[in-house]
Structure formats: C-alpha cells, structure tokens
Amino acid sequence: MYETTDASALVGAAPPRRVQADLADNAFCRDLLEGLSQSPRKIAPKYFYDAQGSALFDRICELPEYYPTRTERRILERHGREIAHVMGPQADIIEFGAGSLEKIRIVLRSFEASALPRRYFPIDISGSHLEEAARRLHDECPWLQVRPVAADYMDEAQLSGLDASTGRRVGFFPGSTIGNFDAHEALAFLRLAARVLEGGGLLVGVDLVKDPQTLHRAYNDAQGVTAAFNLNLLRRANVELSADFDLREFAHYAFYEPRKQRIEMHLVSQCAQTVRVAGQNFRFEEGESLHTENSHKFTIEGFRKLAVAAGFRPGPVWTDEARLFSVHWLESPRRGAASE
C-alpha cells in the first residue's frame, strides 16, 4: 500500500537550491550518490535528521499511533530510582543520537540531590538542532555541565569532544535507535559503546516483537507526519546537494517484514523518471524505491545475547505491562575484567 501525501503541505516547499562549494567533501552527498548507484537503492537513516527532519521526528513522538516514545517514557518514570541507582552517583552521561533531549530530563529527575550527574554530553549529527536543545536544558539545569558534541556517533574519530569526560561514563541510547542498524551495525555500535563507556554502562531502549498491526499503525500515522519525515530526506537533498527530486512523484511506504522482524521504510517512485543529484543522473522506474530505514524488533533474550557478544554484561531489564518496549542496563567492564 503506497501512501501518497501533499508534499508541499507536509514537508514544505524547498527553498532555492544552494550549491555547496565542494560536494566531494560532503558525507551526505557521497553516501546518497553511493546508495543511488546500488541495487536495491538505499540511504542511511541518519540523514533524516537535519533541523526540519529533527522537528518532524519530535512530532512523530507525540502521535497517538506511535507507542515507543510514550511507553519508554513511562518505563523511565516508573523505574527512575532503580535506573539512577545502577547508573551511579556523579556520573558523566553520554547520550548517543540525543535529538531533542526530552528523555534525559526524566532520567535527571530520578537522581537524589547528592548523586546528581556531573556532566552531560549529548551527541547528535544535527548540530544546529543540538545546540538549541542543549541551551534549553542548561537553562533548566544550571548545575549540570552540558557539553554538546555535533558528530556521527558511529564514527569514533569524531568523538574527541568526549575527552573532557573524566568521571565514570554511562551511556544513554533511548528510542530503540539500535533497531535502525542491521545485525553487523548493531554489534559494531555496541562494541564502540563498550569501549567508550569502559568501567561504566549503557542504558538502552529496545523495541520488542509484537502484533504487526500495532507496528503498521505506528509507521503509517493518519496525519501523514511519518510520510513527511520520510520525504524530507529528498527535500534536504534538493536544498543541500543541488538535486531535483519532485516530492510529488515519490510516496512513503512502510511495512512489517515478519521473517526479518523489522519495519522497512521506502520512498517509492510513482512514475518512470530521471533524478539529478550533484550533477549525476539516476533513472527510477515506476514502483522502484529508495530504502530509507529499517526498524528491527527484538526479543529480550535475543538482545541480551547481542550485548554479551559486544562485551557487555547484561543487567536489569524494565518493560511495560503489555511488553511493547524494554529498557536494558548493560555493564561495560574494564578490560581484563570481563571474565572475572
């Protein structure tokens, strides 16, 4: 089922294109050109999150169909004291893919005054969105050192901003973003996190396998906000990469693939067309898609096995009553202590 949408209303008409001085040094450009050259075509979901994409995702999180955000919030609120206890006093909190910083506020409220975290390092690829969100959090929590890091958290070389962290490091990775990775990428991220957080731990949100209809509604909302979020990727390419995607000729398409236990999101060409990106032409046939996101769902035991393979020691797991969502605490032992 293809979901059509009024692109100009939901995503916004693209402003005049600006050609960047050197697209060869632009990671978005390189990855999109590479993804369009593959069969099937694909692009990493991290490129959803320019300022407009981040704002659209914030709207998705408030939709009635989108259960992950509100369910995870309730888990964090209900079990906040337990979570604060395992994270420990005076920690440095590192949030991977921080977004709007809404969930960290729930975690911070759970600490006793004598055990408050010392520093908070939100990492996000959208620098402008991150700076504003970090400023608001610091205004609310002036006792907390907020040090935003504009980076791709999957690129360890970009994480030099974490050098200022000198205390016990605990990671925060909410929202089941771990599900956007394939198996190899998920393992690579967890191994990176285990290195960065050595001697501390990671609090991670994990979406669970469930009724496919619940999943379908969550990614095909009645207001079309998820469709706008998906199409915003093309608008971003038009603005930043001198592309000429006609948003009216692409449709949002999301479905659950039960054998792979994942939601797939695509942008489907509604007609045969040629698209130009950074001076290169790409032919789309009618019905051909650009694969923009996977959202894998896990069993609790399946995720714990993945964490062990990455070098973590699984700890407590908290879920809601309906077992829609889970929050895991993973200990990251110091090197040489893993087998003790």
Burial of 225 (0-12, 13-18, 19+ CB in 10 A): buried
State the Cα–Cα distance between residues 70 and 325, nearest whole angstrom. Answer: 10
Residue ranges covered by each domain of the chain = 67-210+298-331
State the Cα–Cα distance between residues 319 and 68, nearest whole angstrom. Answer: 11
State the Cα–Cα distance between residues 167 and 305, nearest whole angstrom. Answer: 28
Distance of CA 253 to the CA centre of its chain: 19
- CA dihedral of 314, 318, 322, 325, whole degrees rounded to 10: -70
pTM comes to 0.87
pLDDT of residue 20: 43
State the Cα–Cα distance between residues 105 and 143, nearest whole angstrom. Answer: 13
pLDDT of residue 337: 59
Identify whether the C-beta of residue 122 lies closer than 8 Å to the C-beta of residue 134.
Answer: yes
Burial of 165 (0-12, 13-18, 19+ CB in 10 A): buried
Give residues with Cβ within 8 angstroms of 299, minimum separation 6. Answer: 208, 209
- CA dihedral of 268, 272, 277, 281, whole degrees rounded to 10: 140
State the Cα–Cα distance between residues 292 and 244, nearest whole angstrom. Answer: 18
The beta-carbon contacts of 179-183 under 8 Å, at least 24 apart in sequence, are 179/206, 179/207, 179/262, 179/294, 179/295, 179/296, 179/297, 179/298, 180/45, 180/293, 180/294, 180/295, 180/296, 181/294, 181/296, 182/294, 182/296, 183/306
Pull the structure tokens for residue 208.
Answer: 């669970």
pLDDT of residue 147: 95
- CA dihedral of 296, 298, 302, 307, whole degrees rounded to 10: 70
- CA dihedral of 11, 13, 15, 21, whole degrees rounded to 10: 60
pLDDT of residue 54: 87
Give the SS3 label for residue 266. Answer: strand
pLDDT of residue 127: 77
Please say whether the structural domain 67-210+298-331 has been given the CATH code 3.40.1260.10: no
What sign for the dihedral angle of Cα 332, 200, 81, 83? negative
pLDDT of residue 3: 44
State the Cα–Cα distance between residues 330 and 305, nearest whole angstrom. Answer: 11
Cα angle vertex 161, ends 158, 162, to 5°? 105
| Phi, psi for 106 (deg, rounded to 5) | -65, -45
Cα angle vertex 284, ends 282, 289, to 5°? 115
pLDDT of residue 136: 95
Q: What is the pLDDT along the chain (340 residues), one digit of tens a residue?
A: 444 444 444 444 444 444 444 566 799 999 999 999 999 999 999 999 888 998 999 899 999 999 999 999 999 999 999 999 999 999 999 999 998 899 999 999 999 999 999 999 999 987 777 898 999 999 999 999 999 999 999 999 999 989 999 899 999 999 999 999 999 999 999 999 999 999 999 999 999 999 999 999 999 999 999 999 999 999 999 999 999 999 999 999 999 999 999 999 999 999 999 999 999 999 999 999 999 999 999 999 999 999 999 999 999 999 999 999 999 999 999 976 544 4
pLDDT of residue 2: 43
| Phi, psi for 27 (deg, rounded to 5) | -65, -40
pLDDT of residue 306: 98
pLDDT of residue 16: 42
